[in-house]
Amino acid sequence: MTDRQSAGAVAAPDVARACASSGDVRPITQIDFARAGIVTPQMAAVAAAEGREPEAIRAAVAAGRIAIPANIHHASLAPAGVGSTLEGVPLSTKVNVNLGISGDLADEALEWEKVDVALELGADAIMDLSNSGKTRAFRRALVEKSPAMIGTVPMYDAIGYLEKALIAITPEDFLEVVRAHAEDGVDFVTIHAGMNRRVIESFKETGRLTNIVSRGGSLIFAWMEATGRENPFYEYYDEVLAILHEHDVCISIGDAMRPGSGYDATDAGQIAELIEIGKLTRRAWDAGVQVMVEGPGHMALDEIAANMKLEKRLCHQAPFYVLGPLVTDIAPGYDHITAAIGGAIAASSGADFLCYVTPAEHLRLPDANDVREGLVATKIAAHAADIAKGVPGARDRDNRMSDARRRVAWDEMFELSLDPARARAVFESAPPSTEGTCTMCGKMCAMKTVNDIMDGLVVDLDAE
């Protein structure tokens, strides 16, 4: 267990002291404790991991600028912070992996293989998007095993969990599913509460090329249309918040109206929902629940920076969790690249959390290799953004890599790589004839040539 994992597993701060600081109201959530002036072990762990002062983390959590998703039942969690300090200094950009059991490919062993890849490569979060059958055993085992924070979308699980047709599900049923996920220990849940009747009216009036592409959003839209009722997560939002507060589950307010094509980006439906999400953000904070806001989607390069600023303005600087954005719609099989391009721009422009996209996006359920490719691409985007936006210490690893390259220290290079196994395997697949070099340059290796000259050695570059 790492130091960060150990810090996440210790008991909560002394409740009596916290109660005395908060008017005899028992604090439960990270934001409760932060407002009571208490630095929790989770806040201390985030401060240590990010190289910040614990008080700076506490103050930002209290204000909603930083979220530390940390369900009170997730004992194996290594806490991670998402957002920035009150002074606007960003934490490192976090990366999420999606996986989960599908109705067409219900192979639990495959999902555990993906979990292993995600943890091996250092994913900060894993979202279990299982949507078929009885998924509770997998979810509970994932929470028990994973030091990464765990997220879910209860709406995906509702039909299988309740064994009811969508139209037969009641608002009380939806709340029951949210409660089950909270009790199981998930650290954040995506709740599509912003797509209310006003947003639907805007969507219908203006139209879209790709309509509603959010799976959870489409199910809620179908339920609303079939029943004639308001979005249950909007109508019963206070009840949702009460459940989340009881278990310290961070609400990730889902973007049901995110654009599914570049053509639909920044349209009336997306912005109407974002305005509603801003209102819901304040209500969650008032209820002592931490918030992240989810964002687009598909979007042209020149719209990304403005969208990041718009979210921060309308949602009161809440941490922003972004899927992609995918910057073109014509690259199936390579959408981990289109998303990484957009993700790098989004994170460098203010996004705090990137959801990975794999090469299988739009085509099929990803396999373990797709998870590896998508996660590494997104970690590259996140790290590149951290360098660009001046996250303290972000460039240190790059500098160590550059020094190792100068010294042609291959083992150090592999160790510093985002995917050490991949880097070593590529190098060893083509052994060089000149020791200490690679087959790209061989004896003409620039690093070796200059090193030898600096060491006073004779450099032999005669033709063979």
Cis before 325? omega within 30: yes
Is 192 known to sit in a ligand binding site? yes
Residues paired with 96 in a beta bridge: 125, 355
What are the tokens at 292? 């992240």
- Are 259 and 209 in contact, with CB atoms under 8 Å apart? no
Q: Using CB atoms within 10 A of its CB, is residue 239 exposed (0-12), middle (13-18) or buried (19+)?
A: middle
The helix/strand/coil state of 297 is coil
Please give the backbone phi and psi of residue 140, each rounded to the nearest 5 degrees, phi first.
-65, -40
Residue 19, marked binder: no
383 has binding-site annotation: no
Find out whether 255 is annotated in a ligand binding site. Answer: yes
**17 has binding-site annotation:** no
- Distance (Å, whole) CA 96 – CA 98: 7
Alpha-carbon span 279 to 275, nearest angstrom: 7
- On whether 156 is known to bind a ligand per the annotation, the reply is yes
**407 annotated among ligand-binding-site residues:** no
Q: Tell me: is residue 214 an annotated ligand-binding position.
A: yes
Is 109 annotated in a binding site? The answer is no
355 is in an annotated binding site: no
Annotation-wise, does 98 bind a ligand?
A: yes
How far apart (Å, rounded) are the C-alpha atoms in residues 349 and 340? 14
> Known binder of ligand: residue 74?
no
SS3 state of residue 190: strand
257 is in an annotated binding site: yes
The set of residues, in sequence order, having a beta carbon less than 8 Å from that of 320 and lying 6+ positions away, is 292, 293, 295, 308, 311, 312, 350, 351, 352, 353
Tell whether omega for the bond before 324 is within 30 degrees of 0, i.e. cis: no
422 is in an annotated binding site: no
Tell me whether residue 441 is annotated as binding.
Answer: yes
CB 260 within 8 A of CB 297: yes
**Alpha carbon distance 419, 355 (integer Å):** 18
What whole-number distance in Å separates Cα of residue 413 and Cα of residue 430?
17
Neighbouring C-alpha atoms within 13 Å toward the C-beta of 440: 8
Radius of gyration of the chain (CA): 24
Would you state the structure tokens that stand for residue 280, as one six-digit string? 């819901």
What pairs with residue 152 in β-bridges?
128, 189
447 is in an annotated binding site: no
Tokens in use for 173? 């049923």
Of 223, 105, 226, the C-alpha closest to 159 is: 223
Q: How far apart are CA 193 and CA 188, in angstroms?
A: 14
Sign of the Cα torsion 181, 185, 186, 189 reads: positive
Known binding residues: 98, 127, 156, 192, 214-216, 255-258, 294, 298, 321, 362, 438, 441, 445
Known binding residues for [4Fe-4S] cluster: 438, 441, 445
Known binding residues for Zn(2+): 298, 362
Known binding residues for substrate: 98, 127, 156, 192, 214-216, 255-258, 294, 321
